[in-house]
Structure 1
Amino acid sequence: MNNDKKDLNSQNLPQDRTQLMTLLNEQQVILDNAGVGICFVQNRLIQRCNRHYAQMHGYDGPEDLVGTNTLSLYPDKKQYLELGREAYPVLVAGERFQTERRMRRQDSSLFWCRITGKLVDTRHPDRGSIWIVEDIDEQRQASDRLKALTHRQQLILDHAMVGIVFLHDRQVTSCNRRFCEMLGYEQEELIGKTTRCWYPDKTRWDEAGNYYSKILSQGQSFRAEIQLLRKDGRTIWCDIRSKAINPDDLSQGSIWIMMDISERKASEKALQAAHDALEKRVEERTHALEQVVADLHREIEERRLAEERIRHLAQHDGLTGLPNRKLFEQRLEEQIRQAVAEHTQLAVLFIDLDRFKHINDSMGHHEGDILLKSLAERLRQAVANDKTLARIGGDEFVIMLPRVRSHREVEDVVASLQAALQPTVNIGLHELRISCSTGIALFPDDGLTPQTLIQHADTAMYRAKRNGRNRYQFYNHQLDREQLERVELENALFHALKHQEFELYYQPQVDITTGLIDGAEALIRWNRPGHGMVSPGCFIPLAEECGLIGEIGDWVLEQACAQMHSWKAKGLHLRVSVNLSALQLETPEFCHHLADCLSRYDLESDQLELELTESILMKQVDQTIQLLEHLDQMGVHLSIDDFGTGYSSLSYLKRFPLDKLKIDQSFVREISVDQDDAIICRTIISMAETLNLKVTAEGVEYPDQLALLAEFGCHQYQGYLFSKPVPADELARLALENHNEPNQTYDI
């Protein structure tokens, strides 16, 4: 009825208005049924749009968009303004503007669309514009996927190791780079050309075409090895494989894959020639063939032996020839399984050579290797055949003892090992005595796996070494607690350095002739909170192991310089000696740091004395001499600490710019009762006098020791006879009292 009423009303309207209404109804039908979005925009506000336009942007109908600014349909304001700047000049020129953009739906998702716009009236741009929008999101995605696929295919073609060419009517439509390289052409020289150019002659080209066209038309693949002609006239052998793109329609062309097999053909030809020559030689000289066969058998045997050597090297130590850790763990795992089956025990012995690192550093690695080989052979001879001896580290060995019945049995083995090492070892001019520390772990009580047993034996070995070396120790769980305490001590050491828990004590160095203090040795002390004083013998080796000794040494140097500056301000002038670590000397900035300390604390360089051990001097001798000469030029005094305990050579010693030797207290301790020690001390003092070096004796505790040292011509001493190490203020008091007392002299 509503339609009837509209018709009646339309009949009552003037004729021109009726036509207008008809036109508008027709336009509305077009808008509602259009397959594209249509929108009328004025001042960038939507005045009217069809349902497809609204739904395209995620709205239910046109009424949701009418009156809204088109800004909400753009991804952001920047693109909204950008399209306006691009479209306006085109539209006002009376032309149609078209572009592809991403637009925003109501749910904020973006989609690709093609946008076409035109002004309603170019003479009056303010009357708005008509825009037609097509959703091409799926089309764009498909296009992007196609481009990506095409790109990947092109990459495959460009980087393929074989030649690939597409033919249509025996003309090249496309080919990859490898194909062009094979035939010596540029790509543009081949595209559109026939395959005739790479056949030696037209007859062979025709024969090939007739042959493979029949095969391809049957839907089969064509494969052959043929000779092709390069651009430069040379021929190459190619392995060719081809297939029609569509066997039902050969007009669509074919794909050909080619591989250059010229080298293989040449090898086959050479092989065939060699084979022919060999057959001829067999016919002529049977004896020669027998010799060739014998040589072949010998080569096979050599290869077999070489493979055995390779396997041996992979499982054995290159220096000593003993099994390495990998082979030892394999054998240990096998013995563990056997021990489980037999309900027996086995033992793992972890052996570490005492003081080997010191010897190695002093004498050099070559001599150290000779020593290791000699000691390994002794251990090998001391171990029965049913036991496995292996080297798993620098001076570390492990032994597996199967079917152990008692601790006594293990102790007997350890005793035999220690006895085997007792005889001295002669390396060059040196006569060395070597002992070992041994840790013992038992299966199954101390571990169930090879790794655990080795680890626990290692832990026990460290305990044996701390107990005085040349000892053995069975593993127990108390050792784990000690190991934990060691880790805690290491952490506390880092904390101590960070929180200034260290302090310096000073032991006076006394002139033997005058009895006056003329120097002091700076000695580090650690007053650990909650534990009291920790012996340097406990934490200095640990600091060396964990790499803190360099920082601690720098701290000692800094504090000693600061203390000398403080004494200098009070009128006390003393030379202070500071012990250096190898790590400090290896630091490239050490000399610069030393000069900076002296400068900052306003000290003369000869107020400082640096003490080095023989093992430090003998590491990289030439480099060390260069560094010491630099220090000597700076005016710093240099001395060798613990002289006589290392293995330095006099030929090297005279090359070092030294000022002093310090006799180790182990020689001074029994100088008055042991003639050998007295001779050693006298010899060192005499040698030092020859080299124009001063001598300081360490550890002097009794007057008779001092009297002998004075008789031998020693210049200086330090030890409990005069004073133990004391804090800085106490040393200052001692020095003041000492210098105010009458001089003490010793008649020689």
Structure 2
Amino acid sequence: MLAVAPPLLAGALATAAGARRTAAGERPGTDAAPAAWPGLTAPAGIAALAAGHHLWTVGEFTAPAIVLGLSVIPPMVVREVLAAADQRRRAERLAASEARLRHLVGDDRPPAGAAPVDRAGLVRALDRRTGGALLVVDLHGADEAAVPDGPVQAEVVHRLRSGAGPHDLVARLTDTEFAVLTDLGPVLAYALGTRLLGALAEPYPRAGGASRLRASVGLAETTGGEPEDVLRQADLARRRAVQLGRDRVEWYDAYLEEQLVRRLDLERELPGAVARGELDLVYQPVLALADRLPVGTEALLRWRSPALGTVLPEELLPVAADLDLLGELGRWVLDRACRQLADWSEGGRELWMAVNVTARELAAPDFVARTATALAAYDVPPERLVVEVAEPAVAAELSTVVAQLRRLPIDLLKVGPHLVGPGADGQRPLIDVVANLGDRLGLEVVVEGLESDAQVAGARRAGCHYGQGFALARPAPAERVEAWFEEFPSTPR
């Protein structure tokens, strides 16, 4: 006991001192691993000496002695397991420190001529990634049709690698789609996408002169999703960037996915809608404000899709424009509106029919000819057809339609209800100014969107002759509008 007590006491004091220093935040001053031989040889040597002394003094081992002798083995095993785990953690810290140092000095960049990984390699990298973001880059030729050739693609890869970080992974998905996998957070990943857009927009030297590319970047976070899900999300964000005009970066979110899925459904279902008989027109009467008698109607397009429900023009027309279906839809609307106007005119009622036309349709070379054909087919007087073009659409392509606008008679000026309200700083309502300008130019002013009697009164007080809106009459199918007409006398306007 006298021999064993001092080492036990010294060990307890040393353990307590070490625990106190560790609790205070002190760490070892070196990353070197401690020597392993004392921990292995000392317990075994002490156990062997104790066993020999026991045999010399007692001559045999009792059961309690054997148990006590064997009890030294489990602590030794546990200690070695803990030591191995500590060594593994130490090695991981060292590796992380080394990687961080390499990142700072930039000595682990991929070789300049290294090829980007393919989609399978990107999926494997995504499977190992626990944070960061994925950027999907879509390239478009400046003429909307050119596809980057081999040298340009090689330059694209070089610019992507130059703009990305040393640990970012560059992948080629198709001839025109690339991806960059980064460990940056959302804000820095968006900044990276913006830098890549700028780099990719620079001219590409090639035989016969430089060429330019337009790029769209979709971003998705890599946390909390399977690799294919992350790829799909980044690709949906890329599609959104393309739809919004390209040369931009878009983040993925759940609402974005709903919009894009809806858009894809529209693109899938719209072709053939005319042939399937899914289009319909509703008509909103235009009234004379003085006596509230009908003078005309506006034909409003509706797509009654069995799969998607009723689709309104503001959602339908952009899709039709992208699918190059505006001409087909416009011809159908014009034919159906002229036929309906002819039916209403048989009873002696003289109304006008307004059809909405986009600037692209108005600029089509055959617009005047096919309009004249539709009028002649149903024996509709040309003065009874109003071609309505929204001003923002005309302004966007003014140079392409100005010649036709000079040839076509402009009789009506349609304005929104926001002009009817009181002017700023007590000034008179803007509708007064517009009505006065229309009178000087010989144009009749139609105020649309009138939803209250006060707005109707304001438009009439300003001198506007015509109006339409829920306060006057709601859009309805042809049968209901015709029944509503029966309540009013037929008066030429």
Matches within 5 A, 1:236-635: 344-346=131-133, 348=135, 402-405=182-185, 409=187, 440-443=219-222, 445=225, 455-459=235-239, 474-475=252-253, 483-529=260-306, 531-618=308-395, 621=398, 624-632=401-409
RMSD, matched Cα:
4.7
Whether the 8 Å CA contact 1:511–1:716 is kept in 2: the answer is yes
Counterpart in the other structure of 2:416: 664
1:617-668 CA-partner distances (Å, limit 9, x unpaired): 3356465233234433xxxxxxxxxxxxxxxxxxxxxxxxx21211134x25
Q: Displacement, 1:571?
A: 2.3
Q: 1:25-62 CA deviation, whole Å, 9 max, x = no partner?
A: xxxxxxxxxxxxxxxxxxxxxxxxxxxxxxxxxxxxxx
Distance (whole Å) between structure 1 residues aligned to residue 356 and residue 182 of structure 2: 48
SS of alignment partner, residue 496 of structure 1: coil
CA contact (8 A) 2:134 2:230 kept: no
Contact 1:347 1:410 in 2 (8 A): no
How far does the alpha carbon of each residue in 1:675-716 deviate from its partner, in whole angstroms, 9 at most, with x for none? 799744333323222322111111100011111111222221
Whichever residue aligns with residue 693 of structure 1, its letter is L
The answer (yes or no) to whether the contact 2:284–2:297 under 8 Å persists in 1 is yes
Contact in 2 for aligned 1:456/1:475 (Cα 8 Å): no
Q: SS at the partner of 2:455?
A: helix
1:737 aligns with 2:487: yes
Q: After TM superposition, give the deviation of residue 508 of structure 1 in Å.
A: 0.7
Partners of 1:726 and 1:675 in 2: how far apart? 40
| SS class of match (1:685) | helix
Query: CA–CA distance in 2 between the matches of 1:732 and 1:349?
Result: 54
User: How far does residue 451 in structure 1 lie from its aligned partner after superposition?
Assistant: 8.4
CA contact (8 A) 1:572 1:732 kept: no
1:473-518 deviations in Å (ceiling 9; x for gaps): 5345x86676455333223222321122111111011111222111
Q: Deviations over 1:118-137 (max 9, x none)?
A: xxxxxxxxxxxxxxxxxxxx
- C-alpha change, 1:459 and 1:530, in structure 2 (3 Å) is closer
Please state how far the C-alpha of 1:564 moved relative to its aligned partner: 0.9
Give CA-to-partner distance per residue, 1:547-591, whole Å, 9 cap, x none. 112211111111111011111112222101111123322321211
Q: Structure 2: which amino acid aligns with 1:579?
A: N
CA 1:531–1:449 in 2, change beyond 3 Å: closer, same or farther? closer
- Contact preservation (8 Å) 2:220, 2:233: yes
Distance 1:692 1:663 in 2: 16
Q: Is the 8 A contact 2:237 2:256 kept in 1?
A: no
Question: CA 1:494–1:671 in 2, change beyond 3 Å: closer, same or farther?
Answer: same
Please tell me whether the aligned partners of residues 346 and 403 of structure 1 are also in contact (alpha carbons under 8 angstroms): yes
Q: Which amino acid aligns with 1:660?
A: L
Bigger radius of gyration among the two: 1
Cα distance in 2 for partners of 1:473, 1:721 equals 42
Unaligned 5+ runs, structure 1 = 1-328, 352-383, 389-397, 418-436, 466-470, 633-657, 742-748
Question: Alignment partner for residue 720 of structure 1, among 440, 452, 470?
Answer: 470
8 Å contact kept, 2:359–2:401: no
For 1:731 and 1:342, locate their aligned partners in 2 and report how far apart those are by CA, in whole Å.
Answer: 62
Give matches, 1:217-236, under 5 Å.
none
- 2:445 equivalent among 675, 690, 695: 695
Question: CA offsets, 1:185-210, max 9 Å, x none?
Answer: xxxxxxxxxxxxxxxxxxxxxxxxxx
1:474 corresponds to which letter in structure 2?
Y
Q: Which amino acid aligns with 2:331?
A: D
Query: How many angstroms apart in 1 are the aligned matches of 2:451 and 2:228?
Result: 53
The alignment status of 1:683 with 2:463, answered yes or no, reads: no
- Matched residue SS, 1:588: coil
Name whichever of 718-727 and 539-548 sits farther off.
Answer: 539-548
Contact map agreement 1:512 1:714 (CA 8 A) in 2 = yes
Mapping of 1:5-154 within 5 angstroms? none
Equivalents in 2 of 1:740, 1:337: separation in Å? Answer: 75
Residue 252 of structure 2 aligns with an amino acid whose one-letter code is F
Q: Is the 8 A contact 1:446 1:453 kept in 2?
A: no
Query: TM-score scaled by structure 1?
Result: 0.36
Report the TM-score when normalising by structure 2: 0.53
> 1:576–1:607: 8 Å Cα contact kept in structure 2?
yes
How big is the shift at 1:616?
A: 4.0
CA contact (8 A) 1:700 1:706 kept: yes
Find the residue that maps to 1:570 and give its secondary structure: coil
Q: Deviations over 1:229-251 (max 9, x none)?
A: xxxxxxxxxxxxxxxxxxxxxxx
1:709 equivalent in alignment to 2:459? yes
Taking the aligned partners of 1:496 and 1:695, their CA distance within structure 2 comes to 35
Question: Mapping of 1:190-229 within 5 angstroms?
Answer: none
Shift of 1:600: 1.4
Residue 339 of structure 1 and its aligned partner are, at CA, apart by 9.3
User: How far 1:537 moved relative to its partner?
Assistant: 2.8
Distance, in Å, in 2 between the alignment partners of 1:662 and 1:547 is 28
2:286 counterpart SS class = strand
Change (3 A) 1:337 1:691: farther
- The letter of the residue matching 2:133 is L
Separation of aligned partners in 2, 1:661 and 1:596: 26
In structure 1, C-alpha distance between the alignment counterparts of 2:328 and 2:305, rounded to whole Å: 18
8 A contact 2:281–2:299 mirrored in 1: yes
Contact 2:218–2:234 under 8 Å retained in 1:
no
Aligned partners of 2:351 and 2:137: how far apart in 1?
A: 49
Q: Name 1:223's counterpart in structure 2.
A: none
For CA contacts below 8 A with separation 6 or more, give which structure has more relative contact order.
2
Structure 1 residues 555 and 676 mapped into 2: Cα distance closer, same or farther (>3 Å)? farther
Q: Percent identity?
A: 25
Kept in 2, the 8 Å contact 1:348–1:399? The answer is yes
| Distance in structure 2 (CA, Å) of the matches to 1:501 and 1:342 | 48
CA 1:627/1:661 → structure 2, altered by over 3 Å: closer, same or farther? same
Deviation readout 1:348-388 (Å, 9 max, x if unpaired): 4999xxxxxxxxxxxxxxxxxxxxxxxxxxxxxxxx99899
In 2: Cα distance, 1:446 partner to 1:706 partner:
58
Structure 2: distance between partners of 1:401 and 1:714? 61
SS at match of 2:270: helix
Give SS of 2:488's match. Answer: helix
Q: 2: distance between equivalents of 1:485 and 1:680?
A: 39
Give the structure with the larger strand fraction.
1
Question: Which amino acid is 1:686 matched to?
Answer: N
Q: Distance in 2 between matches of 1:596 and 1:677?
A: 48
What letter matches 1:713 in structure 2? Answer: G
Inter-CA distance 462–342: structure 2 relative to 1 (3 Å threshold): closer
Distance 1:729 1:660 in 2: 27
Contact 1:459/1:475 (<8 A) preserved: no
